[in-house]
Amino acid sequence: MRSLTVGEQRSSTAPLVVIVPGLGLPFYTLPTARALVARGFDAAVLDLPGFGSSRPWPTRPSIHAIGLTAARWVEATASRRPVVVLGHSTGGQAALTTGLALSARRRALAVVLAGTTFAPEQRRLWRLAGATPLAYRDDGPAEVDPAELYRGRTGIVAILHSGLRDAPEQRISRLPVPLTVTAGVHDAFVPVPWLDRLALSASSAPSVRTSLLGGSHNNLFTHPDAVADLVALAAEDATRSAG
């Protein structure tokens, strides 16, 4: 599989931020990765299921396959350092799978779920379609890499259907590591009651942080500094968990 490591690998013991993009489209997450590097972190953007490259894809285009593959990547490449798994949109659903898989084997871990889909009332395509124009109200076409969209055109639909069948509010109750849930204030995919429900459902997490940031759904592109500041707090959580 492909991963883009942003930064200089400053220390094998410093926290690594692993970014799992939504719908398997890595391009829009790069501003946040660069903002994390500016704060002294290393960041790795995972190209899963592989829309940034030609086929064959390294994993199936479903949230759980993506999440489990991400967990294997972390175990293989960052076994001795604290890790923050940052998942966005359907990548948040996948990151939840990653966090659950990794938590059985490591303590130095925190999970950040940003713009996590899908609120229960949006788990029908027609309802999701109705929310979409408002969800992206602060976003623009510059956030999209047309080549990624073209290569992933069939897999994106498969990830979408996989995400619609998921109930993260149930799975999140088993996550035993520090958790942050966040969304853009104008993100219609993540209304405040849904954000609060995710936080309240995380009954096994030792700490839960919630935050509304600027922007709409893709605020990893439009508000990278605010997202990076929040992830930096999660990195402190991961480091404390290691002790």
Give residue 167's pLDDT: 98
Residue 37, CA distances (Å) to 15, 41, 91, 183, 225 in order: 11, 5, 21, 21, 11
Q: pTM of the prediction?
A: 0.95
Q: Where residue 176 sits, what CATH number does that domain have?
A: 3.40.50.1820
In tens, the pLDDT along 41-83 reads: 999 999 999 887 766 788 899 999 999 999 999 999 887 889 9
| Longest alpha-carbon distance in the chain | 47
Low-confidence residues in the chain, pLDDT < 70 = 1, 7-12, 54-55, 242-243
Tally of structural domains, the chain:
1
Q: Which two tokens stand for residue 211?
A: 């935050």
Q: How far is CA 67 from the centre of its chain?
A: 10
Give residue 11's pLDDT: 61
d(CA 151, CA 193): 35
Q: Where in the sequence is the domain holding 31, given as residue range(s)?
A: 2-242
Give residue 7's pLDDT: 63
Strand-by-strand arrangement of the 83-88 sheet: 2-6, 42-47, 16-20, 83-88, 109-114, 179-184, 208-213
d(CA 62, CA 58): 12
